[in-house]
Structure 1
Amino acid sequence: MAVFVALGAFLMTLFGGWTAQRVTDRRHLVLGLAGGLMLGVVGLELLPEAMDAAGEDFLGVHRALLLFVGGFLFAHVVERLLAVRRAAHGAADAETAHGHSGGAGRTDRAPEVGLTAASAMVLHSLMDGIALGAAFQVGGGMGATVALAVITHDFADGFNTYTLTSLYGNDRRRAFTMLFADAVAPVVGAASTLLFTLPEELVGSYLGFFGGALLYLAAAEILPEAHHEHPALSTLLCTVGGVGFIWLVVALAN
């Protein structure tokens, strides 16, 4: 049953990516919505789940919060190192030649950052599938509740996976490849629960770390880019709407 439900998540993920690809003429709205969805996922879903599952405090601080901060710093350091490497190979000169135009013309974006972020989204979707399978092992009612949350928010996962990959300069082929991998991941995760389950503390630790990295990408990259050329009220409303959508998903799941 869990694998069958995961096929719904597969289709919803593809639909989210297709939506992100189709509205490229409203790029600022896409990025504003993506930032809101990511913020909502982190603050309303990932971090609370991580704090419930990650175990005891470490040196007076909740383990999930330490990993959350660590994930944020890790994403920042990786992006800066990749940006420096690209600048050393002439990317900085190319940006200067274009008059520091910013926005879609930025050349300091490292494609590897987009691929790494999308890979983390794939891993997150894999964990969604595992959670789905484990919930159905507990009982049909629990499985239905988790299924609602997974299928609904996988639209956001697909949307964000395509947006993150393409935002950092990767071509459409790579973006669609990562989108397809993200769509398949819940099915693989659900099927894997027929063979094994992951320790709860390990899952919680991963969610905390991933949440921190995702928050960095949303706050430091996606939202500033959304408002760089189009600081419009509509962009802000898309961000608020993205958070509200995740809030609705969490409310329905509970």
Structure 2
Amino acid sequence: MTEILSVTLLSLLAGAAMPVGALVARFDLLHPKLLTANIRKFIVAFGGGALVSAVALVLVPDGASKLSPVSASLCFAAGGVFFYLLDRYLSQLKSSAGQLVAMLSDFIPEAIALGAAFAVGEGTGLILVLLMILQNFPEGFNAYEELAQSSSYRPAKLLAAFFLLAIVGPVCALTGYLLLAQASGFVAGMMLFASAGILYLVFQDVAPESKAKHGGLPALGAVAGFMLGLIGHMMITAN
């Protein structure tokens, strides 16, 4: 199997976690008694833990290692401001597409970084694939349930949109692999930019949605999500 084919399939696998999460959410809406409110919050919090692990274990360490402190800080700050402004814009727009845009906002830079990592032979590519799967599944689950309740689109159209999102992964990954492999500074800056956006997303959307008034199961989901990311990171880097 050529490396280009490997990058394509792995990025498609990472993106496919979003429609899989959406399918599970669809099943949950059809059979609401199967999952309790705490279990749903656990799934959302699990995604938050996976997002934080992507930031802490891969995106920030790898991005910061290739930039000066000033450049790294500027890229990180720019990401935070951009995602804040994007969040405000989407809130004012009140469009059902906002949830899909929010998912793509962290998926696209991660997929580009994945492709660039494979091109230069870095082990972070496989770690990113694992973390993207862990975070895309609960993101797809949460986004579908919110869209199904707030939009007038039929379930078939919503699911089709999620499947189309999965195709974005290979496109971005191949862009990183073929065009940006030598632009290490740009990719590093993009990773830090995305890191700030992920942290904003976690504390603005994921953490409030996952909080339960009684019981700590959802918070435990965040710990579990980060733990699986840590285990994957340690297993891959040990080889």
TM-score by length of 2: 0.75
Q: C-alpha separation between the residues in 1 aligned to 2:181 and 2:14?
A: 25
| Contact 2:17-2:140 at 8 Å conserved across structures | no
Provide the residue aligned with 2:183 in structure 1.
199
Q: In 1, Cα distance between the equivalents of 2:90 and 2:77?
A: 20
Q: Counterparts in 2 of 1:232-251, with a 5 A limit?
A: 232-251=215-234
Say if 1:175 and 1:250 are closer, same or farther in 2 by CA, change over 3 A: farther
Tell me, yes or no, if the aligned pair for 2:18 and 2:136 is still in contact at 8 Å. yes
Aligned partner of 1:111: which letter?
A: S
The number of residue pairs the alignment matches comes to 217
Question: Does 2:91 correspond to 1:78?
Answer: no
Contact 1:69 1:209 in 2 (8 A): yes
Q: Is the 8 A contact 2:14 2:129 kept in 1?
A: yes
Query: 1:127, 1:186 within 8 Å by CA — same for their partners in 2?
Result: no
Unaligned runs of 5+ in 2: 29-34
1:63 aligned onto 2:68: no
Output the aligned Cα RMSD.
3.0
In structure 2, the CA distance between the partners of 1:215 and 1:123, relative to structure 1 (3 Å rule), is: same
CA distance in 1: counterparts of 2:171 and 2:89, whole angstroms: 34
Corresponding letter in the other structure for 1:114 = Q
1:44 match: secondary structure = helix
Equivalent residues in 2 for 1:83-94 (5 A)?
83-86=91-94
62, 67, 72: which one aligns with 1:49? 62
1:130 lines up with 2:116 in the alignment: yes
State the match for 1:102 in structure 2: none
Task: Tell me, in whole angstroms, the C-alpha distance in 1 between the residues paired with 2:180 and 2:64.
Answer: 23
* Cross-structure match for 2:144: 166
Residues 117-157 of structure 1 show CA distances to partners (whole Å, capped at 9, x for unaligned) of: 2222134213312322331xxxxxx5xx4453244223124
Who wins on radius of gyration, i.e. which is larger?
1
Secondary structure of 2:20's aligned partner: helix
Match of residue 43, structure 2, among 4, 14, 30: 30
Q: Within 1, Cα distance between the matches of 2:159 and 2:78?
A: 27
CA offset at residue 15 of structure 1?
Answer: 4.2
Q: Using the alignment, how far apart are the partners of 1:162 and 1:50 within structure 2? A: 26
Q: Distance in 1 between matches of 2:92 and 2:180?
A: 42
Identity %: 18
Counterpart of 1:177 in structure 2 is: 161
Distance 1:179 1:65 in 2: 35
